[in-house]
Structure 1
Amino acid sequence: MKWATYFAVSAAVVVVGLSLGVTLPLVSFRLESWGYGPFAIGVMAGMPAVGVLLGARLTGHLAGWFGTPQTLRLCLLASAASVALLSVMPSYPLWLLLRLLIGISLTVVFVLGESWINQLVEDRLRGRLVALYGTGFALSQLCGPLLLTLLGTDNDRGFWFSAGLLIFGSLLLLGRDGAPKVDAQSASGRGILAFCRTSPAIAWAVVLFAAFEAMVLTLLPVYLVREGFAQQLALIMVSAVVVGDAALQLPLGWMADRVPRQMLFRSCGVVLLFSSLSIPLLLHTPLIWAVLLLFGASAGGLYTLSLILVGQRYRDDALVRANSHIALLWGAGCLLGPLSTGAASQWISGHALPMLMAMGAAGFVWLAFRRGAFDEVALSR
């Protein structure tokens, strides 16, 4: 196994998480300071999801034409340019376009980066090494809001810092090999409906985690501020959610190499359901910190286990195609989550965020416990 390449590719994708952890809440706070309401902020948060839907369709073609490593480097540089332009173009319509471009380029990075990681690792170590990557990504997002408290939300330092990180990530990939070999036509992302039919629980888990991640970094800080918490404390509470996400990944990966992965998958859904329901009830009590940790841990577990279950089945073209399907589903979750939560928060209930997450978790639990929810032969350890 190419350990140096594994760590280089993982680090390149992890710095994307740090960049997002800084820029997503910064954009939301900046828009709120301009006088925009939750729905407008939700539209902005959902714009990269449109880019995800486009990027997932382009990934296979780009990797087939330019090769996986070169495509990754180019997209990281394109993302850096788009983030930098956020600081010099303070206009809502222009920010919508830039966020669209960021969504397209970072989708390619995630699809190819996670495919590359799953291609490299051996199945006996898959749970632990995929979880190690997931932990690094979650910790990078944890550090994002914390860094933002140091960089400040009333200036553009966060945008420039994030652009620099993305450039650094592109440099980490120089000279690396072992990437999936991709045909520009066969890995174009077709077959999404068949993927959803054969793996409905995995498909919904990806949608649910995408909605969770988009809302946590964009709407959760606003939700907490509107519930009476100071802005600095709201960012720390968001970080607690990400701490929970990061804390579970390595133990979960260790367990995934030793016990039935479907059982762990279902358990994460149940915990997410009950933690979501508990947030409005315990928001102003000391118990909220434990709830936020469980909220992040269970949601993160859904995505990590989805990657593990997909990675053990596919290689090369098929692996990139499966990850393109995941990216399309991710885009749907990123789009539907902030838009529906922003609208519901403004016009129905201030607690719409945890309530919609609870509804999504209930849907996952129903799918995961249905007979035939998993392809038991293909997905068995």
Structure 2
Amino acid sequence: MKGHRRPRLSASVSRHLLPLLLGPLLSLFIVSLGNGFIASLSTLRLDAAGVPAHLIGVVSSAYFIGLTLGAVSCDRLIGRIGHIRAFSGFASLTAASFLLHCMVFDPTAWTVFRLVNGWATLGIFLVVESWLLLAGDQKTRGRLLALYMIAFYGAGMLGQAALGRLHAGGDTVPFMVAGMLAALSVLPIVIVPRIAPAAERTEPLRLLRLLRMSPTGVVGCFGSGIAIAAVYTLLPLYLQRVGMDVGQVGELMACVILGAVVLQYPIGRWSDRRDRRAVLAALSGYCALLSLFVLALPDHQTVLVVLLFLLGGGVFAVYPVAVSHAADQAPAGALVGTIQGLLLINSIGSAISPLAISPLMAQAGEQGLFWAFLVLNAGLAALFLRRHKVRPEPAPVAPFVPTTQMSPAGAQMRVTQELLQGALAREHAQDRADAAAP
């Protein structure tokens, strides 16, 4: 969108922010190295032991249920005990949940471990994101969000790529390494200057108000949650069942995440120049077509690498484009609540996803995953096209900002100065138009 420029941090501001940012970002990177491959590893271990697909779905869903519960409860705990102690507690719980996998092999127990892991992981996100909020302001949030994504996605890719080598050391070694990384992640955040970040707490908007404001945003975020959770938890199951070993599964999962990183920004910038609903329809149709290719083409690793790279770019771009579309219509005073509400809807979709798709894989085999992707994305494309036709196009109020699933504090990071000013300008223009109307 012409006329918009990204804010640049001056050298003095960068030097001022660096000591505040280094600790939390490094801690996030370290804990995410292990957390990134645990979802894949848990699925692969359960499947190798002959656990039915529907039970694997229950275990996988527990992590996302934990994330959802954390989104509505962790901020109170942080407010009582402070950010540094809270991070230490969350990281300790994460480490314990990983190490317990080495001691107990039982789907019911693993469901509890994954639930605790999800709750603690959301707490870690909340601590880091609120810390970044304190360090910057609306002028620098775009840059801080970019640094956050580099740490988060970079750790995820490296963790997945290392999964094969770790697994070669024994079945319990990857869980032990993930536990050690979670424990070590406490060190960077406890040695930085002792500050007390405090982000303003905002209640997310209720579902009915969000639906009235942006049905496309609500459906897009919910569908995106279903698709992303399936990628993290059930795609490794598909890959193992078509003959990939653990190392190959990790490499292909890293390829999916790389696609998300590389393609998200150009897709988002495209959405700045077009009706975002049309872009969402094109993205969903594109993901449906890729799913059909996976189903139709012979199993060939090189072809699969390309398809999964492209699919990762499409699947992970739906959420930020849907959020941007909703933000284009939200009042300035409701921006944070809108994005927090969409985050909660996305989390609910993620929690439902493995429970809904794994029984299909049990009935139709491993290809049931891509049949689910095909139906889901075809349905989303049809709905987005319908919305595109029945309502006038809302003009983008600010350039697209790449983002990922975050905590409620991350929703506040998403509200940059450009977005707030754009929303205010739209409201003022509407007020002038209403006043001039006869």
Asked if the contact 2:30/2:182 (under 8 Å) is kept, the reply is yes
Asked if the contact 2:272/2:396 (under 8 Å) is kept, the reply is no
Distance 2:96 2:332 in 1: 32
Pair 1:31-2:46 in alignment: yes
Pair 1:262-2:280 in alignment: no
Mark the CA change 1:206 to 1:16 in structure 2 (over 3 Å): closer, same or farther. Answer: farther
2:122 to 84, 98, 107: 107
Normalised TM-score (structure 1): 0.81
Pair 1:92-2:107 in alignment: yes
Q: CA RMSD in A?
A: 3.8
Pair 1:338-2:354 in alignment: yes
Q: Secondary structure at the match of 1:228?
A: coil
Residue 199 of structure 2 corresponds to: 181
Pair 1:353-2:356 in alignment: no
The letter of the residue matching 1:32 is: D
Residue 406 of structure 2 corresponds to: none
CA positional deviation for 1:73: 3.9
The letter of the residue matching 1:333 is: G
Q: Secondary structure at the match of 1:195?
A: helix
Asked if the contact 2:275/2:394 (under 8 Å) is kept, the reply is no
CA positional deviation for 1:29: 2.1
More contact order relative to length (CA 8 Å, sep ≥ 6): 1
Mark the CA change 1:208 to 1:126 in structure 2 (over 3 Å): closer, same or farther. Answer: farther
Asked if the contact 2:78/2:86 (under 8 Å) is kept, the reply is yes
1:1-381 matches, within 5 Å, as: 2-68=17-83, 70-114=85-129, 116-117=131-132, 129-152=144-167, 154-174=170-190, 175=193, 177=195, 179-183=197-201, 187=203, 191-249=206-264, 251=266, 255=269, 262=276, 266=280, 267-285=282-300, 286-305=302-321, 319=336, 324-369=340-385, 370-371=387-388
Instruction: Name the % identity.
Output: 21
Mark the CA change 1:3 to 1:193 in structure 2 (over 3 Å): closer, same or farther. Answer: farther
Which stretch of structure 1 is more off in the superposition, 32-41 or 114-123? 114-123
Q: Deviations over 1:110-146 (max 9, x none)?
A: 3454455467556566556534533442232222222
Work out the number of aligned pairs and report it: 376
Distance 2:35 2:303 in 1: 28
The letter of the residue matching 1:66 is: I
Asked if the contact 1:279/1:288 (under 8 Å) is kept, the reply is yes
Distance 2:303 2:358 in 1: 26
The letter of the residue matching 2:276 is: Q
Distance 2:342 2:289 in 1: 25
Normalised TM-score (structure 2): 0.72
Q: Deviations over 1:82-108 (max 9, x none)?
A: 222222222322221111111112123
Asked if the contact 2:55/2:107 (under 8 Å) is kept, the reply is no
CA positional deviation for 1:262: 3.3
Q: Secondary structure at the match of 2:72?
A: helix
Distance 2:184 2:331 in 1: 30
Mark the CA change 1:323 to 1:107 in structure 2 (over 3 Å): closer, same or farther. Answer: farther
Distance 1:257 1:120 in 2: 30
CA positional deviation for 1:46: 0.8
Distance 2:205 2:396 in 1: 23
The letter of the residue matching 2:187 is: L
Gaps (5+ residues) in structure 2?
1-12, 399-418, 423-438
Which stretch of structure 1 is more off in the superposition, 143-152 or 75-84? 75-84
